[in-house]
Amino acid sequence: MDKLTGWKEQMARLDAALRPIGTRPVEITDLKRRVENRPLFDPAGEAGVKAQAEQLLVELIHEYPISDPETREHIRKLFDSHRYFSWAATLPYEPATETAFRSHLILFSIKDQEQDSRDAILRLQYLCEKAKSAGIKIGPILEEVAELSSDLKKFGWSSTRSLLQGSIPKPNG
């Protein structure tokens, strides 16, 4: 079995396990109390697939930058077609080191704006601000990951590559 087939099968199983959590109604009554008294939301943990989801995510984040453009496109399509896995796929650490920031940006590239460019822009802004506040030179890493990213204007106005390139700090002067 090739890697892509294996990833697709694993992701389909994880997506099915996460679907009931991703589709259940959101309880909004007494939201403040629920937010203050509830631990961080962990859909993969709740579904009993945390270890498998983390292992697959780590593998994909490792493989994405060393893969050819066609394989990267397949990885993005896997995330697009397995929306519950994609929704639950997060990294458990802040982008406070170069390696962590790069991993977050690779995941951003893989998710390819997910379902909404506006959410993707907010996520990218958050990642860049956190990394800058940790003293990371974000420009070279943004450039590196932009080269790996899709140039398709997924929602008609901006590609993931252009979002990343547009976040590169301009030199003063």
- Name which of 104-113, 117-126, 148-157 the model is least confident about: 148-157
Residue 33, pLDDT above cutoff 80: no
- pLDDT band (50, 70, 90) for residue 1: low
Range of the domain at 5: 1-90
> Considering the entire predicted model, what is its pTM?
0.89
Tell me, yes or no, whether 74 and 132 share the same domain.
no
Indicate the residue among 21, 55, 90 that finishes a domain: 90
By the 8 A CB rule, do 78 and 10 touch?
no
By the 8 A CB rule, do 120 and 114 touch?
yes
Percent pLDDT > 90 in the chain is 77
User: How many structural domains does the chain have?
Assistant: 2
Tell me, yes or no, whether 55 and 134 share the same domain.
no
